[in-house]
Chain A
Amino acid sequence: MLNKQMAHDILEEAIRYSPADETEVILNGGKTFSTRFTNNYISQNGAQKEYDLTVRVAFGQQVGVASCNIFDGDHLKQVVDNACLAAKHSKPDQQWTPVLAPQAYQEQSQAYAQQTIDYTPQEKAARLAPILQSSLDQNLTSAGMLVNGDNMLAVMNSKELFAYQAWTRASFTYTAMADQQGSAWTEFHSHDMRELEIEALSKIAMERAFLAQNPGEIEPGTYTVVLAPTAVLELVEFLNYLGFGGMAYEENRSYLSGKMGKTIFDPRVNLVDDPFCSQVLGPGFDYEGHPKQAISLIENGTIKQAAYDRRTAQQAGKASTGHALMPPATSGPFPTNVVLQAGETPIEEMIASTERGIYITRLWYSNVVDPKQAIITGMTRDGTFLIEDGKLGRPLRNMRYNQSLLQAFANLESLGDQIYGFQGYFGKLAVPALKIRDFCFTGISKE
Chain B
Amino acid sequence: MNEKDLASLAIDTALQMGATYADARVIRLQREVLEVRNGNVNGIKQHLEMGLGVRVLVNGAWGFAANPDLKAKKVEIAVQRAVSLAKDSAHLYHKPVVLAKRKPIITTWKSPCEQDPFGVSLEQKLDHLFEIDALLRGVKGIAFSEASMDFWKEWQIFVNSEGSVIEQEIIQSGAGLTATAVSDSDVQTRSFPSPFGGQFKSAGYELIPSLKLQDSAQTMAEEAVQLLSAKNCPNGEKTIILGGSQLALQVHESCGHPVEFDRVLGHEADFAGTSFLTPDKLGNFQYGSDIVNVVADATVPGALGTFGYDDEGTPAQCSDIIRNGKFVGYLMGRETAESAGMESNGTMRAQGWNHTPIVRMTNINLLPGDHELDEMIGTTEDGILIKDNRSWSIDDKRLNFQFGAEIGWEIKKGKIVGIVKNPTYTGTTPQFWRSCDAIANQNHYDVWGTPNCGKGQPMQVARVAHGVSYARFNQVNVGVGYAE
Contacts and interface: CB of A to CB of B under 8 A. Distances in A.
A38 B390 CA distance: 33
B391 interface: yes
A398 B122 contact: no
A75 to B, nearest CB: 7
Interface centre among B78, B186, B266, B430 (most CB of A within 10 A): B266
A260 interface: no
A129 interface: yes
Interface string B120-149: 011100100010000000000001100000
A69 B50 contact: yes
Contacts of A300: none
A447 B430 contact: yes
B41 A122 contact: no
Contact of B269 (A66, A143, A327): A143
B264 to A, nearest CB: 12
A251 interface: yes
Contact of A440 (B66, B184, B483): B483
A378 interface: yes
Contacts of B392: 367
Interface stretch (A5-13, A42-50, A111-119, A339-347): A42-50
A337 interface: no
Contacts of B394: 365, 379
A93 B49 contact: no
A173 B456 CA distance: 13
B143 A398 contact: no
Contact of B126 (A91, A94, A368, A371): A91
Nearest to B276: A447
B480 A443 contact: yes
A211 interface: no
B69 interface: yes
Contacts of A182: none
Interface in B162-211: 180, 182, 184-187
A377 B182 contact: no
A364 interface: yes
B62 A86 contact: no
Interface string A56-94: 000000011111111000010011001101110111011
Given A39-B266, A367-B392, A445-B399, A49 B67 contact: yes
A67 B30 CA distance: 10
Interface string B21-41: 000000000000001010011
Interface string A379-408: 101000000000000000010101000000
B43 interface: yes
Contact of B481 (A79, A371, A377, A398): A377
Interface in A150-175: 173-175
A364 B399 CA distance: 13
A65 B354 CA distance: 23
Contacts of B121: 89
A359 B250 CA distance: 30
B267 A38 contact: yes
A36 interface: yes
A365 B44 contact: no
Contact of A41 (B48, B92, B185, B186): B92
B68 A50 contact: yes
Nearest to A403: B483
Given A38-B269, A46-B65, A445-B400, A67 B85 contact: no
Contact of A91 (B41, B81, B426, B457): B41
Interface in B324-367: 354-356
Interface in A29-45: 32, 34-45
B206 to A, nearest CB: 21
B51 to A, nearest CB: 7
Contact of B94 (A41, A70, A177, A330): A41
B68 A42 contact: no
Given A50-B354, A67-B48, A69-B49, A371 B187 contact: yes
Interface string A137-149: 0000101110100
B362 to A, nearest CB: 22
B319 interface: no
Interface string A98-138: 00000000000000000000000110110011001000100
A442 B78 CA distance: 50
A127 to B, nearest CB: 11
Nearest to B82: A47
A374 to B, nearest CB: 11
Contacts of A262: none
Contacts of A261: none
Contacts of B65: 46-48
Contacts of A79: 48
Contacts of B73: none
Contact of B402 (A373, A377, A381, A446): A377
A444 B426 CA distance: 11
B481 A251 contact: no
Contact of B187 (A124, A175, A253): A253
Nearest to B94: A41
B458 interface: yes
Interface string B80-102: 01101110110111110000000
A36 B272 CA distance: 13
B475 interface: no
Contacts of A377: 391, 393, 402, 481
Given A252-B184, A367-B393, A39 B265 contact: yes
Given A47-B81, A51-B68, A90-B122, A445 B395 contact: yes
A372 interface: yes
Contacts of B393: 365-367, 377-379, 400
Interface centre among A36, A258, A444 (most CB of B within 10 A): A36
Contact of A370 (B35, B66, B269, B481): B481
Given A69-B49, A398-B395, A402-B482, A327 B402 contact: no
A85 B118 CA distance: 13
A45 B82 CA distance: 8
Contact of A447 (B50, B78, B428, B477): B428
Contact of A90 (B41, B84, B85): B41
B397 interface: yes
Given A93-B41, A330-B43, A364-B396, A252 B143 contact: yes
B422 interface: yes
A45 to B, nearest CB: 4
A26 to B, nearest CB: 12
A379 B46 contact: no
A379 to B, nearest CB: 4
Contact of B391 (A124, A128, A257, A367): A367
Interface string B244-277: 0000000000000000000001111111010010
B64 interface: yes
Nearest to B63: A45
A372 B44 CA distance: 29
A19 interface: no
27 contacts: A34-B458, A41-B95, A46-B356, A47-B64, A47-B66, A48-B458, A49-B66, A49-B354, A65-B44, A66-B47, A67-B48, A68-B48, A70-B50, A70-B69, A85-B46, A91-B40, A91-B41, A136-B94, A144-B270, A173-B271, A364-B273, A365-B395, A366-B393, A370-B481, A377-B393, A400-B395, A442-B480
Given A48-B354, A145-B271, A402-B480, 4 more contacts: A69-B68, A89-B123, A143-B269, A402-B482
**10 closest cross-chain pairs (CB), A and B:** A328-B43, A89-B122, A143-B269, A42-B89, A45-B85, A369-B481, A143-B270, A445-B400, A69-B49, A46-B64
